[in-house]
Amino acid sequence: MSELSGKKTYDVMIIGGGGAGLTAALYTSRAKLSTVLFEKLVPGGQIASTDLVENYPGFPEGVLGPEVAQKMEAQAARYGAEIIYEEVLELSKREGRFEIKSSAGTSYAGRAVILAMGASFRTLGVPLEKQLTGKGVSYCATCDGAFFKGKKIIAVGGGDSALQEGLFLTRFAEQVTIVHRRDALRASPILQERAKKNPKISFIWDAVVDKIEGEKSVTHVLLKNVKTGAVQKVPVDGVFIFIGHDPNSGLARGFVKLNEKGYVVTDANLAASVPGVFAAGEVREGAVRQLVSACGEGCAAALAAQAYLEGHH
Ligand code: NAP
């Protein structure tokens, strides 16, 4: 007999409490489907560590990331979604039901699953990066920017994150140097224009971080020019790393089909390769990495799960 016998079976189990998961929970709970959502950290996912969200429609002045995250959580909870702050360690299917085992050692059962685990920031993988994280190395400007008042920092990357967060960091830092491995930015033109106009921002092109140095905290970086091979030692107090993300799909590996980069493969209805499993947001192959699209996918996955459940009693 399964340890789940006699336990409540939820209609929908959602893994991940970012924009995609919280919107899915809002839609399924509002459709009177019993819903449980698992989140291992804080509500909002990546948006919870974003300062100002300027491109979420309805907020002409922008909205603070943590504020919109808390409101999304409250909105889902208002319609009855249960939000459980535990990490999901295992996902399986047994006796026609999906089963989840959490970090608290608890098992949960459900009739449909929405994967909304999002993605996590990449690390550089250079010496001392790990040891000096929290001691000058950071991946979150909103979290750590205020510690760098009047200091010199570098922001690594050439995408929207590097520029948006680099701009944010100029509120505190005396000087922000964007270090990019090419000589052309990937970031959107509006952010490029703002960064290039900002007197506190400068650029080092065609360069990668070879080494981070410091004993108690970061003191220097060694930057290597990828074209000439020349290495320069630059004194800095902080190294902010914004070089993209990888999907948080480890849990789903071997359970549903993933692409070669580890993103969950879905059909046009956001259904994954196992019937009853759906995916939404950044963990999904082909997703656009924006809050508004993550929310849109959360809605679409919720409606698809509802249609699936209506055909499967
Ligand atoms: P991204 O667009 O993937 O950019 C990552 C940047 O890091 C690229 O410039 C890349 O260089 C560089 N990079 C990757 N690996 C590296 C390594 N090992 N060493 C050095 N540099 C490395 O990631 P993102 O900026 O985090 O943005 C992710 C998504 O979120 C994007 O779709 C973006 O549009 C979106 N986003 C939007 C906003 C906004 O709308 N305001 C804000 C933040 C993020 P290459 O260019 O050479 O590949």
Instruction: Choose the final residue of a domain: 191, 221, 241.
Output: 241
Summary mean pLDDT of the chain: 95
Best of 129, 142, 243, 284 for a ligand 1 pocket test (most atoms within 8 Å of beta carbon): 243
Distance CA 271, CA 258 (A): 12
Q: C-alpha dihedral over 89, 241, 69, 267, to 10 degrees? A: -60
Question: Taking the model in full, what pTM does it have?
Answer: 0.81
- pLDDT tens track of the chain, all 313 residues? 345 666 799 999 999 999 999 999 999 999 999 999 999 989 999 888 787 888 899 999 999 999 999 999 999 999 999 999 999 999 999 988 999 999 999 999 999 999 999 999 899 999 999 999 989 999 989 878 999 999 999 999 999 999 999 999 999 999 999 999 999 999 999 999 999 999 999 999 999 999 999 999 999 999 999 999 999 999 999 999 999 999 999 999 999 999 999 999 999 999 999 999 999 999 999 998 889 999 999 999 999 999 999 996 5
Clarify whether residues 109 and 161 are in a common domain.
no
Clarify whether residues 11 and 116 are in a common domain.
yes
Instruction: Choose the final residue of a domain: 192, 222, 241.
Output: 241
Clarify whether residues 227 and 129 are in a common domain.
yes
Distance CA 126, CA 210 (A): 6
Clarify whether residues 115 and 253 are in a common domain.
yes
78: Cβ contacts below 8 Å, ≥ 6 apart? none
Clarify whether residues 254 and 222 are in a common domain.
no
User: What's the CATH number where 215 sits?
Assistant: 3.50.50.60
How many domains does the chain contain in total?
2
Instruction: Choose the final residue of a domain: 212, 241, 270.
Output: 241
Clarify whether residues 168 and 85 are in a common domain.
no
Ligand 1 centre distance from Cα of residue 163 (Å): 9
Ligand 1 centre distance from Cα of residue 311 (Å): 41
pLDDT digits (tens, 9 = 90+) for 192-223: 999 999 999 999 999 999 999 999 999 999 99
Clarify whether residues 133 and 112 are in a common domain.
no
- Domain span including residue 58: 2-120+245-310
* CB-defined site of ligand 1, < 6 Å: 55, 124, 156-162, 164, 181-182, 186, 208, 242-245, 289
Distance CA 68, CA 186 (A): 27
Clarify whether residues 173 and 233 are in a common domain.
yes
Clarify whether residues 196 and 144 are in a common domain.
yes
Clarify whether residues 16 and 164 are in a common domain.
no
Clarify whether residues 107 and 127 are in a common domain.
no
Clarify whether residues 41 and 25 are in a common domain.
yes
Ligand 1 centre distance from Cα of residue 242 (Å): 7
